[in-house]
Structures are given as C-alpha cells and as structure tokens.
Amino acid sequence: MKNVLASMVMGCMVMVSASAFAAGEASEASEAQAAMSHGEVRKVDAAVGKLTIKHDPLENLGMDAMTMVFKVKDPAMLSQVKSGDRIDFIADEVDGALMVVKLEKRE
C-alpha cells in the first residue's frame, strides 16, 4: 500500500513539474516576442557586418528612439534586409557592443 501511495505522489509531482516547465517555456517565448523592437533599416554595411537602424525605444536597453549602428550576431542577417525595410528586432549588449541578436522583416 505504501508503494502504491508513493507511486501516486511521484506521478503527481512529475505531472506538476512537466506543466510548470511547459509554462516556463511559453512565458520565455512571449517575453522574447514582447522584447522585440520596431525599426527601419537605413543602411546595410556588409563589409563591416553592421546595420544602421532608425528604431523605436529599446526597452530592454533603456534607450530612447533614435538612429544608430548595430553589429549583427549572424552575418546572414545582412542579406535578409535592405535600406528602407521595416523590421522587428532584438538588440542586446554583447561583449560591450550593441548587437542585433534577432531580426525579422515586417511586411
């Protein structure tokens, strides 16, 4: 009887842990989406791996709206956009430099 009760308790704990884990993943995904900023590409400089972006406030960095130059985490991002494209992106400080770590072109 003790083994049956212990098995039931362990089963419940596993189910609660699994649903908490899934909820955590969903929360992280929605936070990442919420952290995306809006902007417009002003210049693509493939030679140095940088984008000039006119952007809305960057909440995660505490920055006001402005136009500035960012490095890109993945050089392939540079071929996804051109001057004038509207984008959603996440910028973060990486090794002391501001860097676009995620980029999505808006339609």
CATH number at residue 45: 2.40.50.320
Question: Do 70 and 88 belong together in one domain?
Answer: yes
Report the domain count for the chain: 2
Question: Do 7 and 28 belong together in one domain?
Answer: yes
pLDDT at 44: 98
Tell me the three state secondary structure of residue 51: strand
Of 57, 63, 55, the closest CA to residue 86 belongs to 55
Question: Do 66 and 81 belong together in one domain?
Answer: yes
Of 27, 96, 18, 32, the closest CA to residue 60 belongs to 32
Residue 97 pLDDT > 70: yes
Per-residue model confidence as pLDDT tens digits over 12-70: 555 555 555 555 554 454 444 457 999 999 999 999 999 999 999 999 999 999 999 99
Question: Do 46 and 22 belong together in one domain?
Answer: no
Contact 60, 36 (CB under 8 A): no
Query: When comparing pLDDT for 84 and 2, which is higher?
Result: 84
pLDDT at 35: 79
Q: How confident is residue 2, by pLDDT bands cut at 50, 70 and 90?
A: low
- The domain in which residue 70 lies consists of 37-105
